[in-house]
Amino acid sequence: MDSRIHITNLDPSITQEHIHDLFITFGPIAEVELPTAVVAKKGSSAPAPTGERKVGNKGWADVQFESEGDAEAALDNMEGFELLGRVLRVRKAVKAGGNGSAPSVGNRAVWDQVEQ
């Protein structure tokens, strides 16, 4: 297993600091990736005017641990964990393409979720 895990079903209000604080209990973390997006005001299904939008996460995060053992412990303990009313899905993250080189978008690696 690689030392990177992929977490999905995150509440949009979760921050990078929340993810770090939640997963640091399993070992030293090298990186937390939490992409953000502009989301409409809560309760509105129509696109909101620019002034009524807020930035939230895209519902997923990747956590890179310094060791594979720590990543494995996080995966084993956090799969199914409930956070802000949502059940987290935690899987190992693998590079897209599977050939050992990660494609990049904007100089960042693209990671896919793989079911075990």
**Domain-wise residue ranges, the chain:** 4-43+50-96
The share of the chain scoring above pLDDT 90, in percent, equals 59
The answer to whether the beta carbons of residues 32 and 19 sit under 8 Å apart is: yes
Instruction: Give 50-93 pLDDT, tens digit per residue.
Output: 555 667 899 999 999 999 999 999 999 999 999 999 999 999 99
Q: Tell if the pTM clears 0.75, that is, is over it.
A: no
Helix (H, G, I), strand (E, B), or coil: what is residue 77? helix
The fourth-level CATH superfamily of domain 4-43+50-96 is: RRM (RNA recognition motif) domain (3.30.70.330)
